[in-house]
Structure 1
Amino acid sequence: MTEGNSSHYQVLKVAVTATDKEIKVAYRRAARSAHPDQGGDAATFRQVTAAYETLIDPLRRKAYDRSYAAGSFQDASADNGAHFDAPPAGSRASATVHRQPGTRNTAGDPPVYLPPYDDGSMVPLIPLAQASQQVHGMPRKRGIFGAEARIQREMRTVQLLTRQVLPAIPAARLINGLLSPADNSHIDHVVLSGYRLALVGSMLLPKGAYAWDGRTLNHGGRAIAPPQLGHVVRAMQDIFPELNVTGWTVVHSPGGNLHEPVIDQHRRSAGELEPVRIVNAAGLARGLKEFLSSGPAPNTVNVPVLARLLRGMH
């Protein structure tokens, strides 16, 4: 294990949910075996010390967690003989997978955890009970202005996803409230299933017919700019090159009708990429199920990626 490809949690062999006491115990154990006086390696000892100094300090640990700090996750896809052709940053091209004959690989299958929890070879990044949860975190107050309206809008999105999307894809995991890696903004929701990741924001607009031209929503001569998710999608794609990352903005109607407002989609040129889709609630449920289900190994819970996302929650 080298410094360039191991997270601090892996260095100390603790879960990302480890308490201060568990970190101290793990540090003492790792330091004893790595100390040069005990026949260890000086570089490894420095790595152990750096990991401890970061994780034991609440502020430094919080900043480290929010950086989506990378770990050595290359072996995760190798455990089942799979090979993934990751899309380039910002691309929505599907990853491809070569799987062994007879491998179950449909979205409706029971979740398969990768790496598995039963091999006992290392401390899991997160406990199985936590990895088994389909929903992590809930919308909560941040800032002062418009907090209640935003929370109500986000709760409608959570309810939509938990009722319409998660039951159809048992391996899908919904994480609410992440700090954006691109700026100081927040990502309202992300849905992870296998090797696909969807970032979801929301708006509340009166019912009616809207036209989406790729930049703004137009309604009755008025142009409305949706939340800016494109740069966040690109940042997350850079962080997770093994995934196919897309962005979605769901437009809710005041009356709760999933098919309102009506959004007419613009026609894209051949080969043109659209990093963010604008849809109503019915369109989000339909589109997300199609996007997540059609990916490689959609019944896989990618534990390393899930752990990194949970560390990025605000």
Structure 2
Amino acid sequence: MTQGSSSHYQVLRLPVTATDKEIKVAYRKAARRAHPDHGGDAAVFRQVTLAYETLIDPKRRAAYDRSYAHGTPGTAATEGAHFDAPAAGSRASATVHRPNTPRNTAGDPPVYVPPFEHPESGNVPLIPEELAARQVHGVPRKRGIFGAEARIQREMRTVQLISRQILPAIPAARLINGLQSPADNSHIDHALLSGYRLALIGSMLLPKGAYAWNGTTLTHGGRAIAPPQLAHIVRRMQDIFPELNVTGWTVIHSPDGNLHEPVIDHHRRSHRGHETVQVVNGAGLVRGLKEFLGSGPAPNTVNVPVLARLLRGMH
């Protein structure tokens, strides 16, 4: 068992929600098994020690969790799944081959990958089954001094919109709010995971009117308006999760709550599918995310290793 193939949590056979006490107990058990004086392997013992030293220190554990490093890219793949290598400059894609079985649809009951085993099996899942079963994780939290109330208000609108119109239609979808960005010191308002697709979502609140989005710049009345900077975060998350197809979305809410306002004109429509970030109103977000998540491979899959890593990245 090497660091490259297993996370610190897996080395100690712990869920990512483990407390300090549980970490200490698990370390003692793992150290006894792996210690060379008791017939263990020296390399494994070093990994056990490294895992303990990292997880028992609050600052080192927080840094480790923020790096999304406690999982190995590709471990979330289902048995019998085949992942196509992405072409240069394209996002990762995946196709799942299940001979003689009907195609799974987004409305099907959730299937956990890997499946949760019977408690008597002795295997410790990365997260408890009841935690994996929740569709919403975390809430918008106050960050900074200026504009915190407005930020929370628009983020709550997005949470409510996704919770009411997307999650009921896609039972396997999991919404994670308040992720720390792995690319910088910023935050990701929302992440929506379903199967092997991940949508990163930023929220804005702007006056009604006509806006234009050309793939890089949002304008209104000839003035440029900077949307949330998601493109570099999308690219970083794609690097971290090569088994997923990662996209970015900025939803613009209107003051009166009309989902069809403001109106956003998309230029370069023929290239829209290749944009890193989509800018949409509320109605466009619902329509776009349902299509994006629902058309992915095995959209009724709850990707447990990826979900566990994302949950450890919440602020």
Instruction: Determine if the TM-score, normalized by the shorter chain, exceeds 0.5.
Output: yes
Which whole-Å deviations, capped at 9, do the CAs of 1:124-147 have from their partners, x for residues lacking one?
Answer: 000000000000000010111110
What displacement does 1:32 show? 0.3
The structure-2 alpha-carbon separation of the partners of 1:156 and 1:272, relative to structure 1 and needing over 3 Å to count, comes to closer
Corresponding letter in the other structure for 2:25 = V
Q: What is aligned with 2:100?
A: 101
CA distance in 2, matches of 1:36, 1:85: 42
104 and 110 in structure 1: CA distance in 2 versus 1, 3 angstrom threshold: farther
The verdict on how the C-alpha distance between 1:181 and 1:214 changes in structure 2, with shifts beyond 3 A counting, is same
Give SS of 1:60's match: helix
Look up the match of 2:188: 187
Aligned equivalent of 1:126: 127
Match in the other structure for 1:288: 289
Q: List gaps (5 residues or longer) in structure 2.
A: none
Q: CA RMSD in A?
A: 1.7
Structure 2 counterpart SS, 1:301: strand
Is the 1:210–1:219 contact (alpha carbons within 8 Å) kept by the matching residues of 2? yes
**In 2: Cα distance, 1:9 partner to 1:93 partner:** 26
Q: Residues of 1 paired with 2:46 and 2:93: CA distance?
A: 40
What is aligned with 1:163?
Answer: 164
Displacement, 1:75?
Answer: 4.9
Partner of 2:210: 209
1:198 to 2:229 alignment:
no
Residue 101 (structure 1) shift: 1.8
Is 1:3 the counterpart of 2:9 in the alignment?
A: no
In 2, are the aligned partners of 1:87 and 1:243 still within 8 Å (CA)?
Answer: no
Q: What residue in structure 2 maps to residue 51 of structure 1?
A: 51
3-state SS of 1:188 partner:
strand
| TM-score normalised to structure 1 length | 0.95
Counterpart in the other structure of 1:23: 23
Between the aligned residues of both structures, percent identity stands at: 80
- Contact kept, 8 Å, 2:73 with 2:241, in 1: the verdict is no
**Contact persistence 2:76–2:306 (CA under 8 A):** no
Whole-Å separation in 2 of the counterparts to 1:201 and 1:40: 49
Question: In 2, Cα distance between the equivalents of 1:93 and 1:242?
Answer: 7
**Are the counterparts in 2 of residues 86 and 243 from structure 1 also a CA contact under 8 Å?**
no
Look up the SS of the partner of 1:3 in the other structure: coil
Give the TM-score, by structure 2 length: 0.95
Shift of 1:220: 1.6
Structure 1 residue 267, shift from structure 2 partner: 1.7
Give the structure 2 partner of residue 257 of structure 1.
258
Residues 36/108 of structure 1: CA separation in 2 closer, same or farther (3 Å cut): same
Paired with 1:270 and 1:257, the residues of 2 have a C-alpha distance of 28
Distance 1:114 1:283, change over 3 A: same
Partner of 1:113: 112
- The residue number in structure 1 matching 2:219 is 218
Q: Secondary structure at the match of 2:178?
A: strand
- The question of whether the paired residues in 2 share the 8 Å contact of 1:87 and 1:241 is answered with no
| Alignment deviations for residues 245-265 of structure 1 (CA, whole Å, 9 cap, x no partner) | 000000000000000000011
Whole-Å separation in 2 of the counterparts to 1:234 and 1:44: 33
Letter paired with 2:147: G
1:95, distance to aligned residue in structure 2 (A): 2.4
4+ residue segments displaced more than 6 Å: none
Q: Give the Å deviation of 1:266.
A: 0.8
Deviations 1:196-215 (A, max 9, x none): 00000011111111111222
Instruction: Single out whichever of 270-279 and 236-245 deviates more from structure 2.
Output: 270-279
**Residues 32-65 of structure 1: CA deviation (Å, up to 9, x unaligned):** 0100100111111111011011111111111111
Tell me which amino acid in the other structure corresponds to 1:286: R
Counterpart in the other structure of 1:40: 40
SS of the residue corresponding to residue 77 of structure 1 reads coil
Number of equivalenced pairs: 313
Q: Which amino acid aligns with 2:30?
A: A
Once residues 190 and 271 of structure 1 are traced to their aligned partners in structure 2, the CA distance between those partners, rounded to angstroms, is: 21
Write the distance in 2 (CA, Å) between the matches of 1:272 and 1:247.
12
